[in-house]
Amino acid sequence: MAEIIDGKAVGEEVVAKVRKLTAELVASGSAAPGLAVVIVGEDPASQVYVASKSKKAKECGFHSVQHTLPAETSESDLVELIGNLNADPKINGILVQLPLPAHIDSGRIIQTISPEKDVDGFHFINVGKLGTGELDTAFVPCTPAGSMLLIERVRGKDLSGLSAVVVGRSNIVGKPMANLLLAANCTVTIAHSRTRDLAALARTADILVAAVGRPEMVKGDWVKPGATVVDVGINRIPAPEKGEGKTRLVGDVEFTGAEKVAGAITPVPGGVGPMTIAMLMANTLASASLAAGRPRPEF
């Protein structure tokens, strides 16, 4: 049976280190890291995410600001707000919660955020830095950054000689994940819904990352014996065994089958999920440290 990779425990370690380094930063005379979270509209899931991010920022000792804007807010008003946050020395990280209402161009909004405050890692400058291996100054998207930390806990930082398959090619997870694995000397293949014989390709992977958003698509017999399996998916499916109308969370990997074959595997929930918010805190601290002329902390 596989080792279960406890993302909750690792995430708590990251947050504890952020809290400690934040206290040291403030004790040295610098301002506390500032995180501004912007939400437009009343999407219930977005509100839950934003509340948890703001709460975690306060736990870390950050200066935490939340801007809740009505759904009818114009794109130009949102651009103006981001411009003000870019210019505010108390703010080190700016996070605009997606999705935005249909009348606002999300791409334009993301590119309006200063790259030095882009703690989500979506600005083209940060994407380019990651793609060219400039990891010392890049902000990496939080989910792949957290996934990479979990892989390092099992395999170490140098992945030379290992084969990785990333199933999914999104800009948020798949592509940055592949770049992180490349930077760690992995041999990387990006697969997706149009890949021929995906199962056979997956079986070649020492490290298999599933990020497709399809419940339990990756079956247990797709997993190479001893592989490290990172399941990024979070899908809600019907659970009639719990009662009428009940649901449960599953990943993109069929956990019960994969657990029997893999060397190590992340569960859903409790795997990659807790790492995402922890890495957001780490990125915000990194931004504040760089702004204060201090070295970037390592996690």
Residue 244: pLDDT over 90: no
Query: Once rounded to an integer, what is the mean pLDDT over residues 54-79?
Result: 96
Reply yes or no on whether 53 is catalytic. Answer: yes
∠ CA 234-182-290, nearest 5°, is 85
Catalytic, out of 17, 56, 117, 120: 120
| Nearest alpha-carbon partner for 232 in 276, 294, 171 | 276
Answer yes or no: same fold for 30-116 and 142-273. Answer: yes
The pLDDT, as a whole number, for residue 43 is 83
d(CA 87, CA 150): 35
Phi-psi sector, 238: left (phi>0), alpha (psi -120 to 50), beta = beta
Residue 239: pLDDT over 90: no
Residue 56: pLDDT over 90: yes
The pLDDT, as a whole number, for residue 173 is 97
Query: Once rounded to an integer, what is the mean pLDDT over residues 34-57?
Result: 91
| Nearest alpha-carbon partner for 60 in 271, 296, 282, 273 | 282
Q: pLDDT class for 242, splitting at 50, 70, 90?
A: confident
Residue 251: pLDDT over 90: yes
Q: State whether residue 87 is helix, strand or coil.
A: helix
Give alpha helix (H) positions in the chain: 7-27, 44-59, 75-87, 106-112, 124-131, 142-155, 174-183, 198-202, 255-259, 273-291
Query: Once rounded to an integer, what is the mean pLDDT over residues 72-91?
Result: 98
The pLDDT, as a whole number, for residue 35 is 98
**How do the domains of the chain map onto residue ranges?**
30-116, 142-273
Residue 240: pLDDT over 90: no
Q: Are 251 and 228 in contact (CB under 8 A)?
A: no
The pLDDT, as a whole number, for residue 46 is 86
Catalytic, out of 17, 56, 97, 206: 97
**CA-to-CA separations, 281 to 1, 16, 77, 248, 275, in angstroms, rounded:** 33, 10, 27, 28, 10
Reply yes or no on whether 175 is catalytic. Answer: no
| Nearest alpha-carbon partner for 272 in 89, 124, 126, 148 | 148
Percent of the chain whose pLDDT exceeds 90? 92
Query: Once rounded to an integer, what is the mean pLDDT over residues 198-205?
Result: 98
Q: Are 7 and 275 in contact (CB under 8 A)?
A: yes
Q: Tell the residue number behind the tokens 């890291």, with chain if given.
A: 33
Tokens of 25: 């930063």
Q: Which superfamily does CATH assign the domain made up of 142-273 to?
A: NAD(P)-binding Rossmann-like Domain (3.40.50.720)
42-51, 53-62, 80-89, 174-183: segment of lowest average pLDDT: 42-51
Tokens of 273: 């999920």
Q: Which superfamily does CATH assign the domain made up of 30-116 to?
A: Leucine Dehydrogenase, chain A, domain 1 (3.40.50.10860)
Reply yes or no on whether 97 is catalytic. Answer: yes
d(CA 3, CA 17): 24
Q: Are 158 and 182 in contact (CB under 8 A)?
A: no
d(CA 244, CA 151): 38
Please provide the size of the chain in residues. 299
Q: Are 15 and 281 in contact (CB under 8 A)?
A: yes
